[in-house]
Amino acid sequence: MPLGDSITFGLCNGGSTGCPGGYRVELFTDAVNDKKNITFVGDPTLANGPKTVAGVAFPPNNVGHSGWTITQITQIVTMTPMSALMWSGQPTPNIVLLHIGTNDIDGIGTEPQSSAPTRLGTLIDDIIQRLPDALLVVAQIVPYPSNASGVMTYNAAIPALIQDRASQGKHIVMVDMFTGFDVKTMLGTDNVHPNLAGYVFMGDKWYGAIKSVLP
């Protein structure tokens, strides 16, 4: 289940139009090429992406809400019986890919940027509670040049959040989406959303984190 904001949905070109499928296209391509099985679950009203990828029908579902903050994502997690999912006919996710926090660093909403890691920890715990058998993969977010120091501070707090829960036996790992993300070649014209090259980078990173658990 791809979970997050507009970067999960797949906006680019200044945020006004889409890169259909976003990072999910490259992630799916990697899996198909590696003869691994993967599908995406999520809100069908948010579904987007090409019809086929690498000669295989592309699963377009995701939970990428444009402009949403950590708290807003937490609200849909806590109001939903996640163990059964809210979307009829879709299986319970075995893996959750979480990239969230850019809008908190951007100052959207009324909550202080400084407490964003605490809010992330709450969201992580809520997901684990509702999907205890799933692997939760939490991303250090891609660069946001308008508040570079804020991103650095936020990302620096994430490893401890992950390690604390992993040491308790929770199924959780971190993926670093920041290191190696070249803002000159991978960020779109709005300096917020990745361009196609950025989404390819993200897809490859996600795949590296989950390929060993894919059938």
95-99 sheet: strands from edge to edge: 63-64, 2-4, 95-99, 135-140, 172-176
* pLDDT tens track for 84-140: 445 767 888 999 999 999 999 988 778 899 999 999 999 999 999 999 999 999 999
* pLDDT tens track for 129-176: 999 999 999 999 999 999 999 999 999 999 999 999 999 999 999 999
In the chain, what is the greatest distance between 2 CA atoms, to the nearest angstrom?
46
Residue 83: the pLDDT is 44
The interaxial angle of helices 196-210 and 23-33, nearest 10 deg, is 50
* pLDDT tens track for 57-83: 999 999 999 999 999 999 988 876 554
Residue 163 CA to residue 147 CA, distance in Å, equals 26
Residue 84: the pLDDT is 43
**What is the tally of structural domains in the chain?**
1
Closest by Cα among 109, 95, 86 to 2: 95
What CATH code is carried by the domain that includes residue 109? Answer: 3.40.50.1110
- Mean pLDDT, range 7-27, rounded to an integer: 86
Residues 6+ apart with CB under 8 A from 30: 203, 204, 207, 211
Residue 117 CA to residue 7 CA, distance in Å, equals 19
Residue 146 CA to residue 119 CA, distance in Å, equals 21
Residue 40: the pLDDT is 96
Residue 215 CA to residue 211 CA, distance in Å, equals 8
- Mean pLDDT, range 33-49, rounded to an integer: 95
Write out the two tokens for 66. Answer: 């444009």
Residue 17: the pLDDT is 64
Residue 58: the pLDDT is 97
Q: Which domain holds residue 109?
A: 2-213
- Whether residue 53 has pLDDT greater than 70: yes
What is each CA distance from 27 to 13, 104, 106, 161, in whole angstroms?
20, 26, 27, 25
